[in-house]
Structure 1
Amino acid sequence: MSELVRHVTIRGRVQGVGYRAWVEDEASARGLEGWVRNRRDGSVEAVFAGPGDVVSNMIAACRQGPWSARVDAVQDEAAGPDMLKLRRAGDRFAVLPTI
């Protein structure tokens, strides 16, 4: 399996509903690396890195999200490993500050 890095932006009712914590839990349970954060425009942004099928399944799960969320759109783009550098050294998956 090849390593895949994807940059995802999720729009809808995804802030104030536990979406970031849900992403962190789901990604960690799947053994993915990356990060998640809120954006001031009301969206949630994430980077997932790992085996292609696992990353694809995580992105599919983001289209649903936790029960309290309402996902209107998921934008999925290729990303490079440099996107992972936003985490603190030693973090496998991180929740980053809002930008």
Structure 2
Amino acid sequence: MAAPMRATRLFVTDWRSVRRFSLSAALRSPQDEKKFDERMLQYLVCPVSKTPLRYDKENNELVCDNMHVAYPIVNGIPNLVPTDARKITEVTKDTSTDNKNQPET
């Protein structure tokens, strides 16, 4: 009978700590966000393709050029869960429209 009471007590303790953490995280301003340590790039790879990632400072993401996906970085911690990745659409110059404007020889 003592074991279930102890488990309940642990749950309440864990719940309170999670609640405190969530409230403090919600009250933080964007200036308080931690920066990503670029030295970590030597250890991180894409979880799908296993190729090295590059850091995109402008969007605060880790980019896998091989898979054309970007993984978000939240409070300095990369989120490398494949389902949370954003698909990157490549912007390529359409050469077929450029050729239409030139006169034929």
Name the one with the larger helix percent. 2
**TM-score, length basis structure 2:** 0.26
Higher relative contact order (CA 8 A, sep 6+): 1
Mark the structure with the bigger radius of gyration. Answer: 2
Name the one with the larger strand percent. 1
